[in-house]
Structure 1
Amino acid sequence: MIKQIRVDQLKPGMFIHDLNCGWLDHPFLTNAFHVRDMATVDKIIKIGIRELYIDTIKGADVWAAPTQSEVNADLERRLQEIAERNTDKPIIVDLKDEAARARRLQGEANKLVRNMMDDVRLGQQVEIERVEPLVEGMVDSIFRNQDALLPLARLKNHDDYTFQHSVSVCALLVAFGRGMKLDKVVIREMALGGLLHDVGKARIPDRILNKPGKLSEDEFGHMQHHVDEGVLLLQQSPGISEIALKVTAEHHERYDGSGYPGGLVEKNISLYGQMASIVDVYDAITSERVYHKGMAPTQALKKLLEWSSHHFDPKLVQAFIRSIGIYPSGSLVMLDSKRLGVVVEQNEDKLLEPVIRVFYHAGQQHYIPPEMIDLSKFQQDRIASFESFEKWKIDPYQWLPG
């Protein structure tokens, strides 16, 4: 049986089923292993893990611990409660009108971040004035209709992950800030910080940055330095704002003090740093990597809820979930009718019932004429599960708007 335990309940003789830290490049070779000694327990505590899962068939038990299914049922209930709260995110422009602009912006942003990282490797400064117009365009696009750009930002390939992750964090921070009703000027500076938050990785050796596998403990220590390197780079860049610096400096801090580089606790982390940490983790755990399979978006949102008991501010996690939806746009889903479709648009007052473009029948294994279904108006069908584009050999670009 799989159970969730607190880290202070972990003892030698237990079998760890899941370290429960998909956002952390931990120093262990795998997420599942036998605990042989207290030194291993101490190492797990040191890296900031607060709760994890054990397999009681393969190792010692904790009698009163909740099962994985009980934990998941509670997270489902909490997601349902968040979905039922009213949101207020008016759409100014129809999705089809914004989609082409969003595709162009995404391409320009990926290219700009790649070129900027190359320039930094060659010893050049970050030129803020080159980045600001693009950030302004992304902010405006998401304010017009966020369902155009956010799905594109989720699409990444292994080789360009670092660049594409920065673009995705930028876009998600805009949607998050918009959902929080922050001033647009503040959101723009947060977005700039999001686009630049990993610029320090340009100073990390390629053998570590591009390693196709788990980092060693020493390599992990080197990787952590990217935050300080990024802050130093941006401090040397005329025109950088304090908000953008906070996003860069604090996106790996954690609410309980287990983060880095400062080990800051709760309100000692700025609002912008806290929001960036949530967005950074969400995008990281939903992305496919060489050594890491991305989670389905709703599963990732459950993980954020679970981790908000320690690592994140619970109220901010709930606000983030409301800002992007329970079934984020761009997700591939299967309906009860066995039809596959892509979530293309949110219904702001009914987050469990988005608009779906269906195009494939999984039961009969063939494509069907594409059809737009608004689940808030079509009561005969419901989302049954998330699916993988890779599993079904479907090109997501073909079915997203634009």
Structure 2
Amino acid sequence: MLKRVETNEVRLGMFIHKLEGSWFKHPFWKSRFLLEDEDLLQSLRDSAVPAVIIDTARGADVSRARMAAPGMAERHKPIQTSMPRASFGQARRSPVSGNRLPPATAMRAVGTSTAAEFGAARQVAGRAGRVVNKLFLEARLGKTLAASDVEPLIEDIYASIQRNLYAFNGLLRCQQDGGNIYRHSLAVSALMIALARTMRLTPLDTREAGMAGLLMDIGVGQLPPDALPQDGDYSRLPDDLRDGHVVLGHALLKAAGDIPDQVLRACLRHHERLDGSGYPYRLGAEDLDVISRMAAVCDSYDTLVNGLAGGEALDPAQAILALQAMEPALDGEVIRHFIDSVGVYPIGSLVVLRSERVAMVVDEDPTDNAKPTVRVFHSLRQGSAVRQATIVLSQCYGEDEIVGIADPVALGLGDVAALRASLLGAVERGAS
């Protein structure tokens, strides 16, 4: 039976069926869960949620909850994750908002395998691409955006990343469709959510990080169409137009009236740099908040792997090296968290193994981001394709390892985008 309960009446043991109010006002990604943790209960009481809907068939009723024994929380002790509880318990605060971070049970991923999540991620990416395309078209036509236009999209992306940290971004890296501003926005949004999750930001901060990634280039639609470079390299625009896509985008989002302040800041500052070399205002480190620093890193990475800054697109592993070389203009600590979220060799990287074989990275090991899972497909000795095989480098006991990044042009591998899509497809189908 469903029953509406005021937030101050909520007790441990209740099954939360729905949280009333805007998704920006509550600290949870899931709207349905069994309330078993004191910290989670306190977070709910501290939030702006006016009331909740409980399901008494799946949890305690109001009267039963009031009579619950003091030891109830211990009997419903949450499953521990690999990260010690002390590292993000009651005393830990978000580096963004200063709010108390949620407990382990609120952050723990479900644990879907990367191969299994690729299918769901593909569906989410397809829907998201259409939504983003529409958003940019409507912005060009002068329609005012609203936070509600992108809330469902951010929820879908987060849900995929919550199930598996690597699949959604890996899929985007291996899809054949070329980089454009719509795909770039979707990729940066997903990277921001993954990075925020790795940094253990609050659900609210994570939502807003994802929204910033999605909307930071919305001002491109306000530029004259004949001025836009066909290759997407906006660094070659005259300064007034280059700066304009940021300033105009910020003005468009501010006019919406309900876009959160830190989303607006990140959209305005994602091209600023800690050393003052960025644009449009040449701000320095003291003026750049955490979300803006995250946006600069995620935007720079996706720009590198798609060749949007001029020149050839970099292999994901090469882009990681290039990103590290961009310190101190970019925040080094954020870069290190970013590498934790995508790997030293991100999915889609083409690598050379000690066994003189070439492989593509198809999965990551969260316990060792330098030893991913790879799909072997080419032999340097033979100079030709070999029977494909999947190797979990973290579990091969030193029999093989990555010794370098492959050069697909020098090896004559042909259409790299089609190759990546084919190799990922084999993993998705469960091929041996």
Q: TM-score, normalised by structure 1?
A: 0.72
1:176/1:320 contact within 8 Å kept: yes
Q: Which residue of 2 aligns with 1:312?
A: 330
Q: Which residue of 2 aligns with 1:355?
A: 373
Q: Which residue of 2 aligns with 1:336?
A: 354
Q: Which residue of 2 aligns with 1:47?
A: none
Do the aligned partners of residues 381 and 217 (structure 1) sit closer, same or farther apart at CA in structure 2, a change above 3 Å counting? closer
The reply on whether 1:233 has 2:257 as its aligned counterpart is no
The letter for the 2-side match of 1:398 is: S
Structure 2 matches for 1:191-340, cutoff 5 A? 191-212=210-231, 219-289=238-308, 291-309=310-328, 311-340=329-358
Is the partner of 2:219 in helix, strand or coil?
A: helix
The letter for the 2-side match of 1:242 is: D
Do the aligned partners of residues 215 and 345 (structure 1) sit closer, same or farther apart at CA in structure 2, a change above 3 Å counting? closer
- C-alpha offsets along residues 40-81 of structure 1, whole Å, 9 cap, x if unaligned? xxxxxxxxxxxxxxxxxxxxxxxxxxxxxxxxxxxxxxxxxx
The letter for the 2-side match of 1:325 is: G
Please state how far the C-alpha of 1:319 moved relative to its aligned partner. 1.8
Please state how far the C-alpha of 1:160 moved relative to its aligned partner. 4.9
Tell me whether 239-248 or 281-290 shows the greater mean CA deviation. 281-290
- Distance in 1 between residues matched to 2:372 and 2:251, nearest whole Å: 43
1:153/1:168 contact within 8 Å kept: yes
- Distance in 2 between residues matched to 1:112 and 1:205, nearest whole Å: 22
Please state how far the C-alpha of 1:201 moved relative to its aligned partner. 0.3
1:334/1:385 contact within 8 Å kept: yes
The letter for the 2-side match of 1:102 is: A
The letter for the 2-side match of 1:240 is: I
Q: Which residue of 1 aligns with 2:14?
A: none
1:121/1:203 contact within 8 Å kept: yes
1:334/1:384 contact within 8 Å kept: yes
The reply on whether 1:397 has 2:415 as its aligned counterpart is no
The reply on whether 1:182 has 2:206 as its aligned counterpart is no
- Distance in 1 between residues matched to 2:164 and 2:146, nearest whole Å: 29
The letter for the 2-side match of 1:130 is: D
Q: Which residue of 1 aligns with 2:120?
A: 101
1:174/1:187 contact within 8 Å kept: yes
Q: Which residue of 1 aligns with 2:142?
A: 123
Please state how far the C-alpha of 1:211 moved relative to its aligned partner. 4.1
Is the partner of 1:376 in helix, strand or coil?
A: helix
1:361/1:367 contact within 8 Å kept: yes
The reply on whether 1:133 has 2:129 as its aligned counterpart is no
- C-alpha offsets along residues 152-206 of structure 1, whole Å, 9 cap, x if unaligned? 2225778651111111111111111111111122111110110111000001122
Please state how far the C-alpha of 1:359 moved relative to its aligned partner. 2.7
Please state how far the C-alpha of 1:286 moved relative to its aligned partner. 1.6
2:118/2:171 contact within 8 Å kept: no
Is the partner of 2:351 in helix, strand or coil?
A: strand
- Distance in 2 between residues matched to 1:181 and 1:113, nearest whole Å: 27
- Distance in 2 between residues matched to 1:138 and 1:389, nearest whole Å: 31
2:146/2:259 contact within 8 Å kept: no
The letter for the 1-side match of 2:192 is: L
Please state how far the C-alpha of 1:279 moved relative to its aligned partner. 0.9
Do the aligned partners of residues 389 and 91 (structure 1) sit closer, same or farther apart at CA in structure 2, a change above 3 Å counting? farther
Is the partner of 2:256 in helix, strand or coil?
A: coil
Do the aligned partners of residues 157 and 288 (structure 1) sit closer, same or farther apart at CA in structure 2, a change above 3 Å counting? farther
- Distance in 1 between residues matched to 2:113 and 2:241, nearest whole Å: 46
Structure 2 matches for 1:56-67, cutoff 5 A? none
2:324/2:332 contact within 8 Å kept: yes
Do the aligned partners of residues 315 and 234 (structure 1) sit closer, same or farther apart at CA in structure 2, a change above 3 Å counting? same
The reply on whether 1:372 has 2:397 as its aligned counterpart is no
Do the aligned partners of residues 292 and 218 (structure 1) sit closer, same or farther apart at CA in structure 2, a change above 3 Å counting? closer
- Distance in 1 between residues matched to 2:235 and 2:113, nearest whole Å: 48
2:376/2:388 contact within 8 Å kept: yes
1:179/1:319 contact within 8 Å kept: yes
- Distance in 1 between residues matched to 2:217 and 2:308, nearest whole Å: 17
What is the alpha-carbon root mean square deviation over aligned residues?
A: 2.5
Provide the identity percentage: 30
Higher relative contact order (CA 8 A, sep 6+): 1
- Distance in 2 between residues matched to 1:119 and 1:163, nearest whole Å: 13
Do the aligned partners of residues 100 and 248 (structure 1) sit closer, same or farther apart at CA in structure 2, a change above 3 Å counting? same
Do the aligned partners of residues 281 and 290 (structure 1) sit closer, same or farther apart at CA in structure 2, a change above 3 Å counting? closer
Tell me whether 362-371 or 165-174 shows the greater mean CA deviation. 362-371
Is the partner of 1:358 in helix, strand or coil?
A: strand
Structure 2 matches for 1:78-117, cutoff 5 A? 92-117=111-136
- C-alpha offsets along residues 21-56 of structure 1, whole Å, 9 cap, x if unaligned? xxxxxxxxxxxxxxxxxxxxxxxxxxxxxxxxxxxx
State the number of aligned residues.
314
1:234/1:245 contact within 8 Å kept: yes
Q: TM-score, normalised by structure 2?
A: 0.67
The letter for the 1-side match of 2:241 is: H
2:165/2:341 contact within 8 Å kept: no
- C-alpha offsets along residues 245-270 of structure 1, whole Å, 9 cap, x if unaligned? 12211101111122112222113111
